Structure 1
Amino acid sequence: MANKFSVAFSYYFKNYYRSRSFYLMLALILLITAIMSYFSFRYQGKIDSFLGKFDRSAITAGLKARALDYIWSFVLVDIPVYAAVFFGSPSISSEIEDRTAFHIFSLPVGRITILSAKYAAAYAVTILVSTIYFIAEAIITRTIYGTIDLNAYLESFAITLIFVGSVIAFTFFISSIFNRNIYAYITVLIIYFLVFNAIDVITSLLYSTTSPFLLNNAANIIMEVFININLFTFSPTISLSPAGSSQVLLAVAVMIIYMAASIAAAAILFENKEAK
């Protein structure tokens, strides 16, 4: 079983990093990193002005470094989503659309092994491109302010690893529903950026709070471990302190639930897929 998994993982991983989607995502990451680096150097004084509105006496190099990391993480939270759309959305639907399922389903390899290997490969390439951005964030922050909150940085990175797993699992679940890639692509984007946000707007209007059970809201903890600023409600909460442990644990729990439920649903649907 382990040997079959490693062979399948190696095959799918090579397919991913040799694909046009991988190089397109890599180019986007490098472009976004370059833009963020430029603006970090060009407008670093704006961070001082922003923090000065709250408590100028509390401004330190460490606080400014965390504020810059917050801004970088503000962009980071969407990077795994687009990577997951590239690598996860066509993961299962493509096997039916491209008719490769006829060959794969006849192999002496269990479908769960195939699904697990493909999921692990998609996870690996997504982490690969995301890590480039994360490393650049640390280098820029350290260069500008001479320091970095290593604990918050590593915590944000660890949460990102979990988030990547959950959002890819979610795209695998959506992909297992359809037999055409385009439907999977569109559905993932609509659900994540339209449906989730619509639900969040409604709950914000009715209850003046965000919906903690939504995956996109849970992802915000990636940046809130630096500065606990939530700008996505009609009554924004702002704190220059990092998010509390209860907030972090709740967000991580939501991500894990999405991951477990999505991959389980994808496994059930994939197990019952028929080549057409």
Structure 2
Amino acid sequence: MIKSLTIYIQYVKNYYRSRSFFLMLFLIILIGSMMSYFSFKYVNDLPKFLGSTVFPVSLKVELFYYLWTLVLLYVPVFASVFFGSPAISSEIENKTAYYIFPLPINRYKLFFGKYFAAFTVTLFIIGIYLIFEVFTLSLLLHQIPVTYFLESFVMILLFIFSIMAVTFLISAIFNKNTYAYITVFVIYYIFFEAGSFIIELLYKYTPVYFLNDAASIIERVYININPGNAFVSHIDINPAPFSDIMLSALIMIIYGVVALVVGMLLFEKKEVS
């Protein structure tokens, strides 16, 4: 237990010292600042954008949180690329595996130590954005939809868990960082995002089993509109039903568990070439 904690702490320190961390920190502060600026600038113009002059306060609160969370949805993807893609492949490419693999340390502990370190750093980045969100919208709207916010936060945790696990699996497959980086983007934005779009276009069916669709629950807990469903005519301004939340949570858990198990097994058998 002590050795596992030491490994985890060391990898957290490594992440916090990396250029990737400072890049993500800069980007999240920039994005949070821009969202705050636009929120203050257009707080009273939102009904005009939606073609309405009558706009309930409660719906206004939920819509602003929905818009903020819609932007947040993509942060774990980029964080997983920066922190997860090179997690295993870099050990091979940089030849550090020559020194790490022979050590009398269980590889499972190395794998999970680095995984939970990446999870922690990603959560820190997400936390900065959430501080911007809550502080800005509390000043503007004087309300916090606590129940929906907590549901959304739990779904964010599950999404980080799943997308980071998938990224670690990909990193365990390749021996070069570049291949891992590209593959993660291809899988998420071409296979999931574009694949979902094509399936909806051809069959008018939403592939709820795709990770990107499951992750959309993060914002749909406020208003049940999935922006990826371009060909679904029904729009529901009510929050997503509990059944949708549970289904999305289950799908993300399955992705995370399967990816972690397979990635861990690949890492256990990985050799330095």
Measured against the shorter chain, the TM-score band is over 0.9
SS in 1 for 2:191: helix
* Match status 1:6 vs 2:5: yes
Match among 139, 142, 157 for residue 161 of structure 1: 157
How far apart are the structure 2 equivalents of 1:154 and 1:49? 29
Which residue of structure 1 lines up, in the alignment, with residue 100 of structure 2? Answer: 104
How far did residue 160 of structure 1 move? 0.3
Which residue of structure 2 lines up, in the alignment, with residue 258 of structure 1? Answer: 255
Which residue of structure 2 lines up, in the alignment, with residue 123 of structure 1? Answer: 119
Indicate if the aligned counterparts of 2:33 and 2:132 stay in contact, CA closer than 8 A.
no
Indicate if the aligned counterparts of 1:47 and 1:68 stay in contact, CA closer than 8 A.
no
Q: Which moves more between the two structures, 63-72 or 232-241?
A: 232-241
Which residue of structure 2 lines up, in the alignment, with residue 197 of structure 1? Answer: 193
TM-score, structure 2 as length reference: 0.96
Indicate if the aligned counterparts of 1:229 and 1:236 stay in contact, CA closer than 8 A.
no
How far did residue 194 of structure 1 move? 1.0
Q: Which residue identity lines up with residue 44 of structure 2 in the other structure?
A: G
User: Structure 1's 274 and 207: CA in aligned 2 closer, same or farther, altered over 3 A?
Assistant: same
Which residue of structure 1 lines up, in the alignment, with residue 175 of structure 2? Answer: 179
Percent of matched pairs sharing the same residue: 46
Which residue of structure 2 lines up, in the alignment, with residue 19 of structure 1? Answer: 18
SS in 1 for 2:235: strand
1:36-51 superposed matches below 5 A: 36-50=35-49
How far apart are the structure 1 equivalents of 2:45 and 2:228? 21
TM-score, structure 1 as length reference: 0.95
Unaligned stretches of 5+ in structure 1? none
How far apart are the structure 2 equivalents of 1:267 and 1:230? 33
How far apart are the structure 1 equivalents of 2:100 and 2:168? 17
For these two proteins, the number of residue pairs brought into alignment is: 272
Match among 264, 268, 271 for residue 271 of structure 1: 268
RMSD of aligned C-alpha atoms? Answer: 1.3
Q: Which residue identity lines up with residue 15 of structure 1 in the other structure?
A: N
Which residue of structure 2 lines up, in the alignment, with residue 86 of structure 1? Answer: 82
How far did residue 231 of structure 1 move? 2.4
1:231-250 superposed matches below 5 A: 231-233=227-229, 234-250=231-247
How far did residue 84 of structure 1 move? 0.5
* Match status 1:66 vs 2:65: no
Unaligned stretches of 5+ in structure 2? none
How far did residue 15 of structure 1 move? 0.2
How far did residue 47 of structure 1 move? 2.2
Q: Which residue identity lines up with residue 215 of structure 2 in the other structure?
A: A
